[in-house]
Amino acid sequence: MRQPIIAPSVLSANFADLKSSFDLFHNSPADWVHIDIMDGRFVPNISFGFPVIAAMKTLTDKFFDVHLMIVEPEKYLEEFKKAGADQISVHIEACPHLHRTIQQIHDLGIKAGVAINPHTPISFLADILADIDIVCMMSVNPGFGGQKFIPHTLRKIEELVELRAKTNSHALIEIDGGVTLANAREILESGADVLVAGSSVFNAINPIAAVNELKNIKL
């Protein structure tokens, strides 16, 4: 029996009252804080930068899972580490020298991941999978919260499980986008390890109960 890692996304939090949103983390079994960084270039939206992350870090001791949806992420890795990142995922589509970028992240003493967009084939991960700690698989087109889950993601998860075994990788499989209480079990049964949940948690009548329900899915 295994339990999923639950990573509520602060992109769906109440930015007028971040402390209350972060109190949720302390009062729930949420494992990680998922932080989406967007630059308005790689994706058509802008989120927040180093000072906000550093402020968030003062509100919790949870693991900070930072997802960089930005171009040239290699220029900013050290600053994200200083702001509080425990793990940084960069997009395969944004990194022409991916192995070098992954090594940079590991050299900072934190975990490194690769994120892939819905259109990117799983096979593109074959030469990097053994070197990373996590794959952040986008199950919506990145840039905005509250989108619907792309069903083909389930097959991609299964493909990634197969590739992980072939490459002797221990990378976790994280699903980001459109995760709800209605589809979480199917996502996990396909082979996912980590669920990023944004609006399905923060917009719930009882956010703590929503996290509990996700965390307690038995497999």
Q: Position of tokens 């889950």?
A: 149
- DSSP letter for 34, please: E
For the chain, the average pLDDT equals: 93
Query: Confidence band (pLDDT; 50, 70, 90) for 21?
Result: confident
In one-letter notation, the amino acid at residue 186 is E
Tell me the two tokens of residue 4. 């999923």
Nearest one of 69, 61, 68, 67 to 30, comparing CA atoms: 61
Query: Tens of pLDDT along 170-184?
Result: 999 999 999 999 999
Asked about 176 being catalytic, the answer comes back as yes
Query: Tens of pLDDT along 172-218?
Result: 999 999 999 999 999 999 999 999 998 888 888 998 999 999 999 98
In one-letter notation, the amino acid at residue 31 is D
Q: What average pLDDT does this structure show over 129-151?
A: 88
Supply the pTM of this predicted model: 0.95
Q: Tell me which H or E stretch contains 60.
A: none
- Active-site annotation holder among 31, 36, 39, 133: 36
- Active-site annotation holder among 39, 65, 133, 176: 176
Asked about 36 being catalytic, the answer comes back as yes
Nearest 10 degrees: Cα torsion 10, 11, 16, 22: 0
Query: Tens of pLDDT along 45-100?
Result: 889 899 999 999 999 999 999 999 999 999 999 999 999 999 999 999 999 999 99
